[in-house]
Amino acid sequence: MSTDKRRALLGMVLIGVALAILPFIIGKGLGNSWVRVLDFALLYVMLALGLNIVVGFAGLLDLGYIAFYAVGAYLYALLASPHFGLHWPVWAVLPLGALVAGLFGVLLGAPTLRLRGDYLAIVTLGFGEIVRIFINNLNAPVNITNGPQGISQIDPVRIAGVPLSKPLEIFGLTLPSVYLYYYLFLGLTLLVVFVSIRLEDSRIGRAWVAIREDEIAAKACGIDTRNVKLLAFAMGATFGGVAGGLFAGFQEFVSPESFGLMESIMVLCMVVLGGMGHIPGVILGGLLLAILPEALRHGAVPMQQAAFGRVLLDPESLRMLLFGLALIAVMLYRPAGLWPEARRKREFSEKAK
Amino acid sequence: MDTFIQQIINGLVLGSIYALVALGYTMVYGILGLINFAHGEVVMIGALTALTVIKLLADSGLPGTVVVLIGLLAAVPVCMALGFTIERIAYRPLRNAPRLAPLITAIGVSIVLQQLAMIFWGRNYHAFPPILPTSSREIGGAHITDVQIVIILLAVAIMAGLMLLVNRTRLGRAMRATAENPQIAGLMGVNINVIISATFLIGSALAAVAGVMVSANYSIAHYHMGFILGLKAFTAAVLGGIGNLPGAMLGGVLLGLIESLGAGYIGDLTGGFLGSHYQDVFAFFVLILVLVFRPSGLMGEKVAERA
């Protein structure tokens, strides 16, 4: 084994150990609510990586991505909750959610194949809103989604009969529920990362990049742009569907509120801020945008009390305000994202000349 | 039949407002190729500014129409200043960046404006004081209030004025040239920066007027109103063919009509299965259909294919 390979292996082992003990450090240092934040951050990373396939690799601007998350979440909620009295196991619901979300992806992709750029953006946005409005209103005359109240008492994720919603004792260690979900989400996130990396280097991945750079040239090179674009939508949607199912099981409650346009925009911002098409960048963007606002929410009240003696701005609006300002600032100073792909960086500096 | 005419009237009123906002989107898109996501928030700021002034003057003894006019005159410069500033800070530095970058800053501006408005005006709904005449006329069994008549007439007058400005004046010619090709327009002696600023100023003034119209028509304004309104107006602009001024007007009016007719009849058409709360679905559904069968919009001449 060469030193390079050995070093890479060592690095991976170190990262693995760090990721494995991370919830213990955070849980002991900051409290278990922060492990919960971390769980959500991992869900967002999965979503961002899914959207990255559509926006980053294939260059198709999708503003309705959260619809697939919603499809996955609601499918889980309907098939594993007292709402219909169904209690399907996770290993059946999650793949089904991925499949159905993928079908929705094709459903969205098929009519929009001829559109590009902003037209595509607005159609996908409309699609996302349509899905949300239907979820919001399909409680009458037949109650399917329970309308704005959402569906509660969803079954938690169970692995080998062990529900992740209760603390688990193992080797004398008690692992709280949020830790268990952390390991589940971490595992799936790593799987998504792995799939993303393999896709990027594959024939299909290169076809996506070719379409992103110049669709007509890609077509001339013999790429079946129709199928390849549909595949991008379907793959991205599949990731979203899986993340949605996990969200439903983790939260044990879903309502249409979680799937608004703002969420789609949030995920898009993760992809663009991190660095479109660059997997480490997208992961960074997802983690940052999921964790920083939470930190602000927690830090804002005590800081204001210390500085002014009272709370001037409620933390929620301060959080959004800073989020908006950060979006503007990052785009002004780093339009390619915080951690851009090498190829993209080159393009930018060439353009600047 | 009465309901039909009533829904047509409601649709026309709603459509005129959409059209005014859609013009702002389409002008900016025509020149910069940018979706100005923050435009809806400019409408919202216009509505709330006017409402604040109107509330202050509501008990002053001035006639209601004068008060509303003063409110409108206060909102227009505020919105113009806002539009100008947004372009300078968030869009101008990114003019040569890839298209997604200004889109993200636009979203950022939109969020910031919404939060500032919430801090300034609070989370509550603001009611429009009942100072405008409530008289109404009857047309074929349907009612139209005088306020609604004024809204339609004012919108038509403004759009006619805008068409004159764009087609008959020096500024309009420069705007059309910039939309065609900014570099070459620049070589021909057009000061592109001035033209772009002018576009934002005009669009924001229209937004202010639309904001006052919305709050007068529905008697309500709040910090969250700009988002969905902007979305619909952008839909209208795309429907008509984005970048095309008459298209934006047509798209706005059509969207208004489709929405109100759809909301009025969907219950009967589907045997009560779908209700009027699906109103918003119509806008997007029609949009998707139009774009699938006519990707350049109803009046767009060419598919935008700029790389």
ipTM value: 0.84
The pairing of strands A168-170 and A173-175 is antiparallel
Shared domain for A178 and A163, answered yes or no, is yes
Shared domain for A79 and A133, answered yes or no, is yes
DSSP letters for B209-269: HHHHHHHHHHSEE-TTHHHHHHHHHHHHHHHH-TT-HHHHHHHHHHHHHHHHHHHHHHHHH
User: Any idea what DSSP says for residue B305?
Assistant: -
Shared domain for A5 and A129, answered yes or no, is no
B89 contact residues in A (CB cutoff 8 A): 328
Q: Which residue has the higher pLDDT, A302 or B227?
A: B227
pLDDT, position A38:
92
Shared domain for A233 and A200, answered yes or no, is yes
Residue A169 lies inside a defined structural domain of this protein: yes
pLDDT, position A8:
85
Shared domain for A1 and A120, answered yes or no, is no
Task: Enumerate chain A positions whose Cβ falls within 8 A of a Cβ in B.
Answer: 61, 111-112, 114-119, 121-123, 125-127, 129-130, 133-134, 136-137, 140-141, 214, 261, 265, 268-269, 272-273, 276, 313, 317, 320-321, 323-328, 331-332, 335, 351
Residue range A22-80, pLDDT digits in tens? 888 888 888 888 899 999 999 999 999 999 999 989 988 888 999 999 999 999 999 99
| CA–CA distance, A250 with A40 (Å, rounded to integer) | 9
For domain B2-128+142-293, the CATH class is mainly alpha
Closest CA to B130 of B48, B220, B212: B220
Domain boundary among A225, A242, A261: A261
Closest CA to A140 of B273, B267, B268: B273
CA distance A319 to chain B (A): 9
CA angle B97, B101, B104 (to 5 degrees): 160
Residue A352 scores a pLDDT above 60? no
Residue B304 scores a pLDDT above 50? no
pLDDT, position B301:
60
A328 contact residues in B (CB cutoff 8 A): 89-90, 105, 108-109, 112
Shared domain for A122 and A138, answered yes or no, is yes
pLDDT, position A75:
94
Shared domain for A12 and A54, answered yes or no, is no
Instruction: Calculate mean pLDDT across residues B165-184.
Output: 92
Q: How many domains does chain A have?
A: 2
- Type of residue at A274: G
pLDDT, position A96:
94
pLDDT, position A163:
82
Closest CA to A61 of B98, B138, B258: B98
Closest CA to A11 of A341, A19, A281: A19
Shared domain for A2 and A73, answered yes or no, is no
> Other C-beta atoms within 10 Å of B171: how many?
16
pLDDT, position B302:
53
| CA–CA distance, B40 with B181 (Å, rounded to integer) | 27
Question: Which among B90, B119, B283 has CB closest to A328?
Answer: B90
Shared domain for A76 and A127, answered yes or no, is yes
Shared domain for A77 and A120, answered yes or no, is yes
For residue B144, which phi and psi values (nearest 5 degrees)?
-135, 130
Question: Does the model's pTM come out above 0.95?
Answer: no
Domain boundaries, given as residue ranges, for chain B: 2-128+142-293
Shared domain for A76 and A193, answered yes or no, is yes
Instruction: Calculate mean pLDDT across residues A201-226.
Output: 91
pLDDT, position A7:
85
**Domain limits for position A54:** 34-261
Residue A335 lies inside a defined structural domain of this protein: no
Residue A113 lies inside a defined structural domain of this protein: yes
Report the run of H or E that residue A130 belongs to, with start and end: helix A117-137
Cross-strand partners of B238: none
CB contact under 8 A, A324 and B110: yes
CA distance A111 to chain B (A): 6
Shared domain for A18 and A117, answered yes or no, is no
Residue A91 lies inside a defined structural domain of this protein: yes
Residue range A149-187, pLDDT digits in tens? 889 888 888 887 778 887 877 777 777 888 889 999 999
Domain boundary among A235, A261, A287: A261
Residue A346 scores a pLDDT above 70? no
Q: What average pLDDT does the structure give for chain A? A: 86
pLDDT band at B307 (very low <50, low <70, confident <90, very high): very low
pLDDT, position A204:
93
Crossing angle of the two packed helices B39-57 and B100-121, in degrees rounded to 10? 20
Instruction: Calculate mean pLDDT across residues B294-307.
Output: 62
